[in-house]
Structure 1
Amino acid sequence: MRNVSGSTPPNMRKLLFLLLWLPLFSYAQTVIKYPPPVEADYSLKSYVFESGEKLPELKLHYTTVGQPRKDARGRVMNAVVIMHGTTGTGQQFLSEQFAGNLFGPGQVLDAAKYYIILPDAIGHGQSSKPSNGLRMRFPKYTYNDMVTANYRLLTEHLGVAHARLVMGTSMGGMETWVWGYRYPDFMDALMPLASLPVEIAGRNRMLRKMAIDLIQMDPAWQGGAYTSQPRTGLTGAISSLIFMTSSPFQMQKAAPTRELAEAALAKRTTQLLTSLDANDFIYQFDASRDYDPAPHLTKIKAPLFAINSADDQVNPPELAILEQEIKKVPKGRYILLPITDLTVGHGTHSNPLIWGQYLKELLTLSEKK
């Protein structure tokens, strides 16, 4: 099913070039075909992290689309939680590509039917993070902390005691695995995209460690006390990020000459240098250090569809990890998307035109009779 032959028309090549290098965390200003998004904050007082470190106040920023619908007992029945990837925010799901193909009338996650919750993870977006002032004195949070905080956001603040669906992309996909075994009765269905339910090791951890080291080796980093971004170190770290999220197939098609390739690289690097903070980046890349759902997968009760793409450089299929681990999930299914003209490597997780039919199938399968 892999389509690697034939030439790409110039207009399609230009489109692919633009899609490949658009910031993953931005969203286009388009005509909204679903209820207007609502942003808000919730603060957890005297928050204690798994490390034992504390914050007097942990701010969680989130966006909602749609309205909660309650049953006769006052319980919210239509909540959908979608979690973003490393360096991203919940706002990224408001893109035309994602929301425009999921949240509209008659679509799979029609916001007239579902109450969609898009949190900014700890350390990301407008939630509490090192760059707010504490810098490297900010608590060393983990994915478990992210999930625990979001659970409290839902149950204590939004009145959601049970979710129709929990899903996420990349880091959000890894959080989805954690949700599944830590709160196995909380959701009807789970869909982790572009993730593996095992310890971050091998090349994945090496790339993360190299990115962190490159920032910290830059004298301008000053132990995190810089007044301007350590540009040399951050540029080096961005190289790891670009490689991890790249698609060799699409990059070759979109930039088939040296000039195009170097121009694309310069543009993407500039975009990321403008949007990233070095200390936040260190924390974001290191938050996966103790992630390892593998020993707990048998605890997952809800139907789970794990979706990866064959051109994902973060989770390459030749590792054959999911084929083995999914066997531990009582109601689990592994779906590997073949490489096509539409897949863009790791970022395929944000295109429901490719995997939306599986989400529809999962929702039907998990529907309560």
Structure 2
Amino acid sequence: MAVVSIGSFTLESNQTLHDVKLAYERCGNLEAPAILVCHALTGDQHSIGTEENPGWWAGLIGPGKAVDTNSFQVITFNVLGGCNGSTGPQSINPETGEPYQALFPLLTIRDMVRAERAALQKLGIPHLAGVIGGSLGGMKTLEWGCLYPDFVDTIFPLAVTPAYSDYGIAFNHIGVQAIEGDAEFKGGNYEDSSKLKGFQIARMAGMVTYRSSQLFNGRFAREHNGKQFNVESYLSYQGEKLAKRFDANSYVTLLKAMNTHDVGRAKVETGIFSLSYTHDLLYPQELMLPWLKEQPNAEWQLIETNFGHDGFLVEFEKWGSYIQGKLNQLFVSQPMR
């Protein structure tokens, strides 16, 4: 696992984390312009992955693909607060010699971006041609444009809005309450995240918001296996699956960070190319479009899909060409600045 250390890091809360590390994946020609990819809530740094284990955006990134690794190098960090190699609640607190667990501080989206900026400096990357990400990654993408307009040429925020909606905050609250209300959670000092039923329920609640009612109704059609409806077994499976691979404290930390996201009053000088997706319950276009219209250099597209919010993780044939076309227009067909 590739990891970069950024030392001590002071958060917006004025709390300081020590010996901070970010795990990352870096692919493509290391002399080429750099594209930073930001993952969603339960994603990780493996956006490309390997032939044996493709990453979560392997359909979008690679030789000859929409984000062409023949023309760009691509970097993805596991988010600060995560649980896939970056400093988070499972990490050892150097002050106690034990995992942080409940002692891990609250984060903001801006904290995550500032940490990645420090990591890029450590990696010797002086400039980004673009930043692209969806959902939580889209929040980070917008913050990159706000914080570092001279460091980033163009941002590609997908499936996101300038501030997290009350609807999204409501479902995050359900998730946090389910986890923190589980007796086995023990205030964040649990023994085994995979056994937390509240964590599984939180994931089930989230899954309902990620895809449209049209997709759920079309896929499950009230089919029953004799014991329960297929949609019920699907949600139970998804809850158990996430609890086995992710950490509950990280999940709570990231949900609470998402709630803080708000760049609604910002004017972003960096170029913006944004995609929204139909039936996205959490980040609807009607909350994004008015903000985009106020920006000095913004373009956008609405992608028709029944996948709703999850549209940015699938059906690359529908929207990957928009990303590819904009990257080619900005960086491939003309020399970099």
Give the structure-1-normalised TM-score.
Answer: 0.80
Which of residues 124, 127, 130 in structure 1 aligns to 2:86? Answer: 127
Aligned ranges for residues 255-334 of structure 1 at < 5 Å? 255-259=220-224, 260-296=230-266, 298=267, 300-317=268-285, 320-334=286-300
Structure 2: distance between partners of 1:289 and 1:255: 31
Structure 2: distance between partners of 1:67 and 1:330: 32
Structure 1: distance between partners of 2:4 and 2:233: 41
Structure 1: distance between partners of 2:302 and 2:58: 23
Aligned ranges for residues 15-26 of structure 1 at < 5 Å? none
- Shift of residue 96 of structure 1? 6.8
Q: In structure 2, what is the equivalent of residue 142 of structure 1? A: 108
Structure 2: distance between partners of 1:110 and 1:127: 26
Which amino acid in 2 is paired with 1:294? G
Kept in 2: contact 1:98–1:350 (CA 8 A)? yes
Which of residues 105, 109, 130 in structure 1 aligns to 2:67? Answer: 109
Which of residues 205, 209, 214 in structure 2 aligns to 1:240? Answer: 205
Kindly indicate whether residue 41 of structure 2 is the aligned counterpart of residue 86 of structure 1.
yes
Gaps of 5+ in 1: 1-38, 70-76
- Shift of residue 248 of structure 1? 1.8
Between stretches 358-367 and 141-150, larger displacement belongs to: 358-367
Structure 1: distance between partners of 2:105 and 2:181: 21
- Shift of residue 97 of structure 1? 7.2
Kept in 1: contact 2:153–2:270 (CA 8 A)? yes
Kept in 1: contact 2:133–2:156 (CA 8 A)? yes
Gaps of 5+ in 2: 92-98, 225-229
Aligned ranges for residues 1-369 of structure 1 at < 5 Å? 39-69=1-31, 78-94=33-49, 95=54, 98-104=57-63, 106-124=64-82, 125-132=84-91, 133-155=99-121, 157-198=122-163, 200-229=164-193, 231-259=196-224, 260-296=230-266, 298=267, 300-317=268-285, 320-339=286-305, 343-351=306-314, 352-367=316-331, 368-369=334-335
- Shift of residue 246 of structure 1? 2.3
Residues 213/262 of structure 1: CA separation in 2 closer, same or farther (3 Å cut): closer
Which amino acid in 2 is paired with 1:232? K
Structure 1: distance between partners of 2:57 and 2:178: 33
Which amino acid in 2 is paired with 1:99? A
Percent identical across equivalent pairs?
A: 25
- Shift of residue 277 of structure 1? 2.0
Q: What is the SS of the residue equivalent to 1:335?
A: strand
Give the structure-2-normalised TM-score.
Answer: 0.87
Which amino acid in 2 is paired with 1:78? P
- The superposition leaves residues 310-362 of structure 1 with CA deviations (integer Å, 9 ceiling, x where unpaired) of 02121134xx21221001211112211113xxx42211112332211111232
- Shift of residue 204 of structure 1? 0.7
Structure 1: distance between partners of 2:165 and 2:68: 38
- The superposition leaves residues 272-310 of structure 1 with CA deviations (integer Å, 9 ceiling, x where unpaired) of 2212322111101101232111111x2x22321111110
Residues 97/59 of structure 1: CA separation in 2 closer, same or farther (3 Å cut): closer
Q: What is the SS of the residue equivalent to 1:164?
A: strand
Structure 2: distance between partners of 1:149 and 1:84: 15
Kept in 2: contact 1:189–1:363 (CA 8 A)? no
- Shift of residue 87 of structure 1? 1.7
Residues 238/252 of structure 1: CA separation in 2 closer, same or farther (3 Å cut): same
Q: What is the SS of the residue equivalent to 1:98?
A: coil
Q: In structure 1, what is the equivalent of residue 227 of structure 2? A: none
Kept in 2: contact 1:82–1:118 (CA 8 A)? yes
RMSD: 1.8
Residues 58/366 of structure 1: CA separation in 2 closer, same or farther (3 Å cut): same
Q: What is the SS of the residue equivalent to 2:279?
A: coil
Kept in 2: contact 1:217–1:233 (CA 8 A)? yes
- Shift of residue 92 of structure 1? 4.2
Kept in 1: contact 2:200–2:236 (CA 8 A)? no
Structure 2: distance between partners of 1:245 and 1:80: 26
Structure 1 runs of 4+ off > 4 angstroms?
none
Structure 2: distance between partners of 1:310 and 1:269: 25
Kept in 2: contact 1:64–1:116 (CA 8 A)? yes
Residues 85/257 of structure 1: CA separation in 2 closer, same or farther (3 Å cut): same
